[in-house]
Amino acid sequence: MNYIVLDLEWNQCPYGKDREIRRLPFEIVEIGAVKLNSEKEIVDTFHGLVRPAVYHRLHFRTKEVIAVSFEELKREGRPFPEVVRAFFRWCGDDCRFCTFGTLDLTELQRNLSYYKLDDLLKGPVFYEDVQKLFAIAYETRKERRALSYVVDFLGIEDNGEFHQALDDAVYTAKVLQRIPDDVILKNFSIDCYRTPKSREEEIRVRYETYEKFISREFKSKEAVMGDRLIRQVRCFACGEYVRREIPWFSDAGKNYYTVCKCPNHGYVKSKVRVRKAADGEYFGIKTTKMIGDTDVDKILKKQSFLKAKRRRKGREDDE
């Protein structure tokens, strides 16, 4: 298996958000990638400029970060379908995508959908988030650093240029080379731009410290939270279903929390993020892990704060 380290640059609507193409808020203008073999040795690179077809000027923020002008893109770029097909041919069949952060694969799939090229990359996509892997290997799980910081931290030689697709892909590949293999193996990520469509396609993954469950799509947030597999909680330690100590509650309807207790292993926290799928329906991402008394107290305080906030809002609405 090869690793494909991918970096994209994209443009957005230069005329304001009210005039953007809703199906394509970010138009890819540059693809850079590095291929590493199973030993994490760099064996090849890919670079392609894309001729803009949706937005006919560069947004001012895009001008600030990318190294090519709109005139260069028009002159040297090729149509997106041509560039992206060449890219996937170059990738080959047996590969694992790697990106710095979570955005690139989502925007790649959004651009593929716009051009009706979804078959080139079927999802959900299992990939390596090198930004997250660096945090796990060298700092804390929750820390997220800029690529320039990580390059400097690891003592990787740089030319001072960032936000050029191939350069950033090379930097990211060199960071990946410094990540221990066991960290990569145990901490893969899942991109859910394309979601499970049936009960059989739902995903349940067990990591070192937590379990993740990705549901199929539902018509509403309420339907997500009404699903049996979403609401039921299993102990992370033994896998047995456990009784709720704190009922499910939400913070404005996007995240839902509960605390359960296993008679043998203690408290279990479960969190559900309800997200909107690309087709407008809803799905849930549930994470479950063991917690201690201090964490239970924090969740109780969060619940009390949200209840008080809703009561205050109710009184204000009545006035």
Q: Where are the domains of the chain?
A: 2-189, 195-318
The tens digit of pLDDT for each residue in 126-154 reads 999 999 999 999 998 888 999 999 999 99
250 beta partners: 256
**pLDDT recorded at residue 318:** 56
Domain 2-189 is found in CATH 3.30.420.10: yes
pLDDT-derived band of residue 308, with 50, 70 and 90 as boundaries? confident
pLDDT at res. 315: 65
Query: Residue 319: pLDDT above 70?
Result: no
Confidence (pLDDT) at 160: 62
Give the sign of the dihedral formed by CA 70, CA 73, CA 75, CA 80: negative
Residue 79 has pLDDT above 90, yes or no: yes
Alpha-carbon dihedral of residues 217, 223, 227, 232, nearest 10 degrees?
120
CA distance 156 to 73: 30
188 pLDDT band, cuts 50/70/90, is very high
| pTM for the structure as a whole | 0.89
Q: Which residue's structure tokens are 């049996």?
A: 228
Q: Structure tokens of 33?
A: 């990638």
pLDDT above 80 (res 22)? yes
pLDDT of res. 67: 86
Confidence of residue 263 (pLDDT cuts 50, 70, 90): very high
Cα-Cα-Cα-Cα torsion 136, 139, 145, 150, nearest 10 degrees, comes to -90
> Which of the four pLDDT bands, split at 50, 70 and 90, describes residue 51?
very high
Where helices occur in the chain by DSSP H, the ranges are 60-65, 70-76, 80-91, 103-114, 130-138, 147-153, 165-177, 181-186, 221-226, 228-231, 293-318
pLDDT in tens, 285-300: 999 999 999 999 999 9
What are φ and ψ of residue 167, in 5° steps? -60, -45
Neighbour-count burial of 8, counting CB atoms closer than 10 A to its CB (0-12 exposed, 13-18 middle, 19+ buried): buried
* Unique residue bearing structure tokens 């400029």: 49
* Cβ atoms of residues 257 and 302 within 8 Å: yes
Contact 194, 124 (CB under 8 A): yes
State CA 298 to chain mean position distance: 27
